[in-house]
Structure 1
Amino acid sequence: MRKYFLIIVTIILILGLAGCIKDPPIPDEGVEPKNPFVMNSYFTDSMIIQQNQPINIFGKSEKGVLIEVSLFKKEASEPIQSAKTFVDENGDWKVVFSPISASFQLYKLKVTDSVHTKEINDILVGEVWLTSGEKNMAWPMRYTKDASSYIINNENKKYIRYFSQDHYPNNDPSQQPIGDPQFDFSNGRWNSANSLKSLDASAISYIFACELFEELNKGSAKVPVGFIESAVAESNIHAWLPKSKIDSNPYLRNYLLTKNLYQIDNLGDKNYNQTANLYNNKINPLKGINLKGVIWYQGLSDIGYYEYYNEALRSLIDAWREELSPNLAFIVVGEHAYEKENLAGFRRAQILGTNYHLNVLIVPTYDLEFEYEYQNGYEMEKPDVSSPYYPINKIELAQRIEKAALSLVYNSNEKYFSPRLHNYTVSLTENTITLYFANTKNLRVKLLGEIEELAKPRPVEEYQTITNLILVLVDDTEIEAEVTVNENIIKIYYEDIKQIKSVKYAYLDLCADSNLFNEMDLPVLPFYLNIKWYHN
């Protein structure tokens, strides 16, 4: 008995002593690393840092290693900012420098541990945008009509740069990592807009950056512009959402399960389109890197799933802001006019998905005159096939996005926002429905390619017809609405207003002939309004 007692006491003493033993303290100079530290490939030569926001520099190494980071002006021997930090128990390290305003001043970054050193040169501070989505966003300059006017050896182009990455490791879709968020991109690198490599850059992104650069650098201002390319053709929105966001939203998760889209297994060439895969590989590596905003141009692959896209888009905006920056501006590009089932419902879902966030804007495209065929004498390369889904002329759209960004983010005096239905009232005594629109002072109708102001309020018998403004009656008959217009208000008349259950505008796949615009020549956003007094 005594023998067992002694054994038990001995075990207790050993466990107690083990609990008191702690890791040896880390020396002031840190532990000596066995391997070089690693950094996200965003931190490479020619990078652009977002101005006027904290500068986060981070990487990975072994626990206890002392990392020193110094930021210099080019050719200077003394740093303007410097900091030291120890690598934590998870192998992560991070330093934060104070914000810097934009200029054409070049900087260099020096990162060291007790053994290894890395220098990052030719750094600029300016404006950085993330451009993401699918094929229309990824569409390259080399296939874009009249893009050669932007690709010129201009001295200022060296202040426009873009970060590109491979779609997949070794350009092999089956090698796309699955399952876990990644620390780094696949072959991420910075490029100058002043090079022939720009032929492979996203046309929307490149032209947007050039236009923004010209606008921000009027007068004596010196503001470099950069963009991060992150678009994959034929990608669905669920691949761009973090798995945690999907799993915490029963509606999203159940919808994806019902449609057999909740995939986390190896799908070979379709690995990129699994649940959260593109988020893991292309968005998660941006955590900690401050940006100005996002341009999101995606939708064709999800038109068949339009029922849930409203919630999916809201969740994407929320998730990216939670992971990247709470004040991130979002510009969502709407789908243009082409013939595809459920496209009208999808456009509505896009618009609804942007309704509940601040600093979010949707840019419509259904009114733009796109081209899909290359003419003889076209000076650049041509893709193998043409398609009504992928226009070859991107310049006007990129310019529209840039003007929207100026209004949303840069406090432009010109409020370049599309009108949207804001509210409505019903009068049973007058047999009228009154529609109120935001983002306009004077609604106008486009006639014969020109903008003409609609007439002031007129007698009921002198109606003004607006193309594709439709009344849906209780028996599902559809008729054109007869209206009067006063500034930002449209009043609809009908002999028995109780017979109207819905009002819709531009709610068609092919709706390019819809003719209601604001004074900025921007089209009214499509809508489908269910009259509450009827549906209740």
Structure 2
Amino acid sequence: MVLQCEKPVSVWGWANEGDEVSVTFADQKVTTSTVKDGAWSVTLKPMQSSMESRPLRIASGDQTIVIHDVMVGEIWHASGQSNMAMTVRSMSQHLDVVKTDIAAAELPMLRFCRINEAESPEPRSDLRKQAAWTVCSPETVSGFSGVAFYFAKRLQSELGIPIGIIDSSRGGTPIEPFIPRAAFGTHPTLKQELELGDRGDLEGIWKLPGGVRARDANWLPGRLFHARIAPLRRFAVRGAIWYQGESNCGVQEDPRHYQYKMRALVQGWRHALQNDALPVYFVQLPGSGAGEGWPYLREQQRLANDMPNTGMVVTVDIDGEGIHPPNKIDVGHRLALWALAKDFGKSVAFSGPMFDRQVIEGTNVILRFRHADHGLMVADKHGLSVPHETPEEELGHFELTDGVNGWQPATAKIQGNRVVVSNPDVLSPIAVRYAYSVTPENCNLYSRDGLPASPFCSRPDLLSYDPKLPE
């Protein structure tokens, strides 16, 4: 396994009441006694990262438990739904390069722990089934999350230290079951979802404006957090990566208020893991396999991107078909860029252009962006290749509105780190939106660092969504 470096490390368990327990690792030995219910906990002092394989020993009376091959490095939670759960094996069925990566995956400094617990109505203090850590090798890597593998592989190659991934994702689930109960008080919709969930009123949650189609108990508020995260809340980690949203904007599912759900997830995890600055980097939904609610949810994800110590990876430019585009290589690498820049001090570009503000000058709307200091470009990305500049092509997917006649296609031109948008038939524009469609193809606005611009609407208050709810 891997222990988190540079942070106090909790080690805990249960023994007979009144017993003495000692924990030994590296040059540290800590002794404690159990409390009334037999629980015990010790804290190891912060340690530097180390590739040295060492044993962790826990002893009480005549019993000793030894965990072998323990390294010290960086640990990240990886969670969400099926696009996070999608395995390296599944990727390899579509991408030949992944088969090559599998054969070369003798990477003993990467270790993965899969948490696969069933839902729980209350937070659990321990996992019901023993979790196992798996060392990365050509024989084991196929079962790992593809996003998490390429994220971890990039970090390990850049940092040269052990990387551990705890994967708690579950396919087909909305965000609600991963949000701690305490965080459901942060927004009226969340409060109502919690109340209805406690009454087992699945149809009520579905009909609620901004609610979700809860199919069974695995979809209810807090249920997967209780089972998969709460038992590990004392285990020190560096941060979290998150890929989810499809089940909050699918068939007859209402994407409204998702930004507040995302905020509740981040705040809830930070409180539960006792780290108010926990980095959380998340993936905006791609352009393939989309349903009618996806454009609205992408915008909701963008609006949640202003939380401190968070970052959003844009994937609307990544080729693929269906709801599970196989190119998780770029997704993992783009997540790693956020961590490398923000958590490990690397001088790398980590975000594509993010809409900042608009200025209206007559019939033109001038857009300014964050993360565009080196300028903007028109570019195409094909497959796994890096985007290449195509200055002869026009920017696509820009629309204007005057607030009266709906959204109209518009011409957009780059001027340095700005974009000027116009349409001669829209004489009094008030807003611009970009790539706001179910499956926008060839989204070609990039920073000169080669990262794509996020879909956006300069006036989110002008967007509306009317889901087809059950009668």
The two structures share one fold, judged by TM-score above 0.5: yes
Aligned mates of 2:60, 2:439 — CA distance in 1: 60
Q: CA deviation at 1:167?
A: 4.3
Aligned mates of 1:424, 1:488 — CA distance in 2: 13
Cα 1:81–1:447, aligned 2, differ >3 Å: closer, same or farther?
A: closer
Cα 1:326–1:185, aligned 2, differ >3 Å: closer, same or farther?
A: farther
Between 1:190-199 and 1:120-129, the stretch displaced more is 190-199
Aligned to 2:395: 466
Q: CA deviation at 1:408?
A: 2.8
Tell whether the 8 Å contact from 2:57 to 2:65 is kept in structure 1 after alignment. Answer: yes
- For 1:19-418, list aligned pairs within 5 A: 47-72=1-26, 80-89=27-36, 91-145=38-92, 146=96, 147-152=98-103, 157-168=107-118, 176-184=119-127, 186-194=129-137, 196-217=139-160, 223-247=161-185, 249-255=187-193, 257=196, 260-261=204-205, 270-303=216-249, 304-324=253-273, 325-338=275-288, 339-355=290-306, 357-370=307-320, 372=321, 388-418=322-352
Tell whether the 8 Å contact from 1:181 to 1:279 is kept in structure 2 after alignment. Answer: no
Q: CA deviation at 1:113?
A: 2.3
Aligned partner of residue 68 in structure 1, secondary structure: strand
Q: CA deviation at 1:158?
A: 1.5
Aligned mates of 2:460, 2:56 — CA distance in 1: 60
Tell whether the 8 Å contact from 1:431 to 1:496 is kept in structure 2 after alignment. Answer: no
Given residue 164 of structure 1, which amino acid in structure 2 is its aligned partner? R
Q: CA deviation at 1:398?
A: 2.3
Aligned mates of 2:407, 2:238 — CA distance in 1: 45
Tell whether the 8 Å contact from 2:87 to 2:145 is kept in structure 1 after alignment. Answer: yes
Aligned to 2:430: 501
Aligned partner of residue 216 in structure 2, secondary structure: helix
* TM-score, normalisation: structure 2: 0.85
Q: CA deviation at 1:105?
A: 0.9
Tell whether the 8 Å contact from 1:185 to 1:282 is kept in structure 2 after alignment. Answer: no
Aligned to 1:437: 369
Bigger Rg, which one: 1
Given residue 170 of structure 2, which amino acid in structure 1 is its aligned partner? V
Given residue 350 of structure 1, which amino acid in structure 2 is its aligned partner? Q
- Could you tell me the percent identity over the aligned residues? 23
* Structure 1 spans left out of the alignment, 5+ residues: 1-46, 73-79, 169-175, 218-222, 263-267, 373-387, 456-463
Q: CA deviation at 1:184?
A: 2.1
Q: CA deviation at 1:101?
A: 1.2
Aligned to 2:468: none
Cα 1:153–1:467, aligned 2, differ >3 Å: closer, same or farther?
A: closer
Given residue 438 of structure 2, which amino acid in structure 1 is its aligned partner? D
Cα 1:532–1:306, aligned 2, differ >3 Å: closer, same or farther?
A: closer
Tell whether the 8 Å contact from 1:443 to 1:454 is kept in structure 2 after alignment. Answer: no
Tell whether the 8 Å contact from 2:105 to 2:141 is kept in structure 1 after alignment. Answer: no
* TM-score, normalisation: structure 1: 0.75
Aligned mates of 2:292, 2:381 — CA distance in 1: 29
Aligned to 1:422: 356
- Which protein, 1 or 2, shows the higher relative CO under an 8 Å CA cutoff with sep ≥ 6? 2
Between 1:509-518 and 1:494-503, the stretch displaced more is 494-503
- May I ask how many residue pairs the two structures share in their alignment? 435
Matched, 1:452 2:389: yes
Aligned partner of residue 395 in structure 2, secondary structure: strand
Aligned mates of 1:127, 1:434 — CA distance in 2: 42
Given residue 271 of structure 2, which amino acid in structure 1 is its aligned partner? E
Aligned partner of residue 144 in structure 1, secondary structure: helix
Tell whether the 8 Å contact from 2:409 to 2:423 is kept in structure 1 after alignment. Answer: no
Aligned mates of 1:68, 1:491 — CA distance in 2: 66
Cα 1:269–1:118, aligned 2, differ >3 Å: closer, same or farther?
A: farther
Given residue 363 of structure 1, which amino acid in structure 2 is its aligned partner? V
Q: CA deviation at 1:348?
A: 0.5
Aligned to 1:265: none
Q: CA deviation at 1:89?
A: 3.9
Aligned mates of 1:321, 1:531 — CA distance in 2: 28
Tell whether the 8 Å contact from 2:398 to 2:412 is kept in structure 1 after alignment. Answer: no
Cα 1:334–1:322, aligned 2, differ >3 Å: closer, same or farther?
A: same
Given residue 391 of structure 1, which amino acid in structure 2 is its aligned partner? P
Aligned mates of 2:302, 2:431 — CA distance in 1: 18
Q: CA deviation at 1:402?
A: 2.5
Cα 1:251–1:270, aligned 2, differ >3 Å: closer, same or farther?
A: closer
Cα 1:527–1:255, aligned 2, differ >3 Å: closer, same or farther?
A: farther
